[in-house]
């Protein structure tokens, strides 16, 4: 059956499609009809546009979404650099990258030091090229976390789109546009600028890989002679539906007292003063201060605001987070002889390199379970020197060109073969 049998069952609703124009409202009537920014949006909401591309990008590449929220995103205090060590480590890692032609391999990354980390503080930069300030290149991360993000926090990256690939443990991701349950054998993409919060479903440590695309957005690869279907099909990508929290009532001051109230207060001033003090104390206890963390050129900045960032009641557009079940990938291969190029395993591609057709800033490729039936053909993947760097992780099982087990290529580990570094099956294979 072309679907993964997940131990954690789905709990959210979604919209199906890739690069589609979606609309969703958590309250009926929240979306304006026939226009984007009416003088008075329905339900007293604020209209806010979220742009993922230039306004004048070609229509088939244009990424814009209109949000209809309780309060606008700009209602916060100034951002300040964080005091955490993690962003400094990642920023220093960019400055101290080693560009070497050796073949590299990492053992499974340990959970031991991650029990106090959440998803954001547990991100560790492993490899990168380019500069997010110039919107060029990419960064590759390993993440490990042992606890939920604080429910009164949210995170977004101004540097790029983040592709999340869980290897161990389920992620419950709440975004401004709705919720995603992302389990091992699923991937998720959180576009640049969209705020989110990550919780651990099982309460157990999580681990996985992530790729941040500083330039452009992920797209489905062209199929060419394959035809109209195959590889990752657009219908299998899932986008969230609108879901919001309304906590603004305790933040906004109410109307002033009317004449009757003023007279009553005058008659019982002492009692009213005591009640007011008690109400003020209770309101202060209920008052929530939300912390927003932004990643900006590999450094983290924080601000606070007295209202939830997850207050989008409705949205419509082409710029949104999404997820995909890797078990639905329609794998293709040779039924005669030889191995086709590994590009036939591409799930998602970044934009073309310098506008050159047939190239990509990054390709996300998987080697799923499949039949190898080629006749009189060297069974493992052939030896190779590549014009692209290849970073590989392992979600489960084994890889048919590398020995598994202790000291070999294990789930949760990684390898990197840089440009023109020779690689291929090991001697035992």
For the chain, give the secondary structure using H, E and C. Answer: CCCCCCCCCCCCCEEECCCCCEEEECCCCCCCCCCCCCCCCHHHCEEEEEECCCCCCCHHHCCEEEEEECCCCCCCCCCEECCCHHHHHHHHHHHCCCCCCCCEEECCCCCHHHCCCCCCCCEEEEEEEEEHHHCEEEEEEEEEECCCCCCCEEEEECCCEEEEEEEECCEEEEECCEEEEECCCEEEEECCCCCEEEEECCCCCEEEEEEEECCCCCECCCCHHHCCCCECCHHHEEEECCCCCCCHHHCCCCCCCCHHHHHHHHHCHHHHHHHHHHHHHHHHHHCCCEEEEEEECCEEEEEEECCCCCCEEEEEECCCCEEEEHHHCECCCCCCCCCCCHHHHEEEECCCHHHCCCCCCCEEECCCCCCCCCCCCCCCCCCECCCCCEEEECCCCCCCCCCCCCCCCCCCCEEEECCCCCECCCCCC
Q: How much is the pTM?
A: 0.88
Q: Please report the pLDDT score of residue 426 as a whole number.
A: 79
pLDDT attached to residue 311: 96
Residue 92 confidence (pLDDT): 67
> Which residues are designated catalytic?
339, 384, 390, 417, 423
**Residue 397: predicted pLDDT:** 87
| pLDDT for 423 | 86
pLDDT of residue 386: 92
CATH number 2.130.10.10 is the correct assignment for the domain at 14-247+289-417: no
pLDDT per residue, tens digit, the chain (429 aa), is 589 999 999 999 999 999 999 999 999 999 999 999 999 999 999 999 999 999 999 999 999 999 999 999 998 999 999 876 554 466 667 777 888 999 988 999 988 888 899 999 999 999 999 999 999 999 999 999 999 999 999 999 999 999 999 999 999 999 999 999 999 999 999 999 999 999 999 888 999 999 999 999 999 999 999 999 999 999 999 999 999 997 754 332 333 344 444 444 455 455 656 666 666 655 554 557 999 999 999 999 999 999 999 999 999 999 999 999 999 999 999 999 999 999 999 999 999 988 788 899 999 999 999 998 999 998 888 889 999 999 999 999 888 777 777 777 899 999 999 999 988 887 776
pLDDT of residue 354: 80
């Amino acid at each position: 059956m072309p679907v993964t049998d997940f131990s954690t069952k789905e709990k959210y609703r979604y919209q199906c499609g890739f690069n589609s124009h979606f609309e969703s409202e958590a309250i009926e009537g929240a979306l304006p009809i026939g226009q984007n920014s009416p003088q008075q949006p329905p339900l007293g909401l604020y209209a806010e546009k979220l742009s993922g591309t230039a306004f004048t990008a070609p229509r088939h590449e244009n990424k814009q979404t209109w949000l209809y929220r309780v309060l606008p995103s700009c209602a916060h205090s100034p951002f300040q650099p964080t005091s955490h060590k993690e962003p400094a480590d990642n920023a220093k890692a960019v400055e101290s990258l080693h560009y070497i032609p050796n073949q590299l391999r990492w053992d499974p990354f340990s959970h031991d030091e991650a029990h106090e980390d959440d998803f954001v503080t547990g991100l560790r930069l492993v490899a990168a090229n380019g500069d997010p300030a110039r919107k060029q290149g990419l960064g590759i991360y390993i993440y490990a976390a042992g606890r939920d993000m604080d429910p009164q926090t949210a995170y977004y990256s101004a540097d790029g789109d983040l592709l999340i690939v869980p290897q161990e443990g389920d992620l419950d991701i709440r975004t401004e546009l709705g919720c995603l349950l992302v389990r091992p054998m699923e991937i998720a993409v959180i576009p640049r600028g969209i705020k989110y919060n990550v919780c651990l479903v099982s309460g157990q440590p999580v681990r996985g890989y992530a790729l941040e695309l500083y330039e452009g957005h992920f797209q489905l690869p062209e199929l060419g002679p394959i035809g109209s279907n195959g590889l990752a099909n657009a219908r299998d990508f899932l986008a969230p539906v609108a879901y919001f929290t309304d906590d603004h009532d305790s933040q906004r001051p109410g109307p002033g007292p009317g004449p009757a109230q003023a007279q009553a207060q005058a008659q019982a001033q002492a009692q009213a003063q005591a009640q007011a003090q008690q109400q003020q104390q209770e309101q202060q206890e209920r008052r929530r201060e939300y912390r927003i963390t932004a990643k900006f050129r590999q450094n983290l900045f924080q601000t606070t605001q007295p209202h939830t960032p997850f207050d989008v009641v409705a949205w419509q557009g082409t710029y949104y987070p999404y997820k995909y079940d890797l078990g639905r990938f329609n794998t293709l291969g040779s039924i005669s002889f030889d191995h086709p190029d590994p590009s036939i395993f591409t799930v998602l591609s970044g934009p073309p390199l310098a506008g050159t057709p047939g190239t990509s800033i990054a390709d996300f490729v998987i080697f799923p379970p499949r039949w190898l039936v080629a006749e009189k053909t060297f069974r493992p993947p052939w030896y190779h020197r590549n014009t692209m760097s290849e970073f590989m992780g392992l979600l489960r099982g084994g890889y048919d060109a590398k020995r598994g087990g202790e000291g070999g290529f294990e789930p949760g580990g990684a390898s990197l073969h840089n440009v023109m570094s020779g690689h291929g099956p090991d001697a035992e294979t």
